[in-house]
């Protein structure tokens, strides 16, 4: 519980730093992280701390392990890569390619050069989702997901009422 509270407070501190209501320390922290993470990527940091705080609140067994820390870092980096690519990385006509900051640029450049833009977004998006699942210790139930999709389409076929010519 204590670690969860620390993560929630850190999320609030980073939001307060963005709003310039955290004093000189907040300005200093914001300037450094804005350079590293970019103006949009900066918001991944409070989101990350909220997710981590939630995962510790939800956890039945206090697990302060490397798994959540590594998945949090992977979440941050893949999110920065996605932001940087979506902001125009790999597009020579784009004017603002540093939306994911220095870290997003470092991560996105090899992905875009190897896989191009759309495949890079797909791969980084997959990595982002996997990191969230690991961080929250979630177990997706694909069977019920596919059953719901199947029943949705099957329902549409069954509800079609033939129109008789009059």
* Residue 104: predicted pLDDT: 84
The pLDDT score that the predictor gives to residue 60 is 64
* Band of pLDDT at residue 13, cut at 50, 70 and 90: very high
Amino acid 17: pLDDT:
92
Residue 160: per-residue pLDDT: 55
**pLDDT for the residue numbered 4:** 81
The predicted structure's pLDDT at residue 122: 92
The pLDDT of residue 126: 92
pLDDT digits (tens, 9 = 90+) for 23-69: 999 999 999 998 888 888 888 889 888 988 888 787 766 555 677 77
72 compared with 137, residue with greater pLDDT = 72
**What's residue 10's pLDDT?**
92
pLDDT at 137 over 80: no
pLDDT in tens, 68-125: 778 888 988 898 888 888 877 555 545 555 777 888 888 888 888 888 888 889 999 9
Q: Look at the pTM and tell me if it is higher than 0.75.
A: no
Question: Tell me, what's the pLDDT at 3?
Answer: 80
Q: How far is CA 26 from the centre of its chain?
A: 23
pLDDT for 166 equals 61
CA distances (Å), origin 48, targets 74, 82, 142? 10, 15, 25
């Amino acid at each position: 519980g204590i670690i969860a509270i620390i993560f929630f407070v850190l999320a609030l501190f980073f939001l307060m730093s963005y709003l310039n209501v955290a004093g000189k320390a907040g300005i200093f922290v914001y300037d450094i992280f804005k350079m590293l993470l970019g103006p949009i990527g900066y918001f991944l940091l409070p989101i990350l701390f909220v997710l981590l705080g939630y995962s510790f609140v939800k956890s039945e067994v206090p697990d302060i392990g490397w798994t959540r820390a590594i998945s949090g870092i992977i979440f941050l980096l893949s999110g920065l890569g996605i932001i940087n690519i979506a902001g125009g990385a790999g597009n020579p006509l784009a004017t603002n390619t540093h939306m994911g900051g220095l870290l997003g640029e470092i991560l996105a450049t090899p992905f875009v050069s190897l896989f191009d833009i759309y495949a890079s977004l797909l791969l980084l998006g997959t990595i982002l989702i996997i990191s969230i699942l690991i961080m929250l210790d979630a177990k997706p139930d694909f069977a019920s997901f596919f059953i719901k999709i199947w029943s949705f389409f099957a329902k549409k076929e069954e509800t079609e009422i033939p129109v008789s010519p009059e």
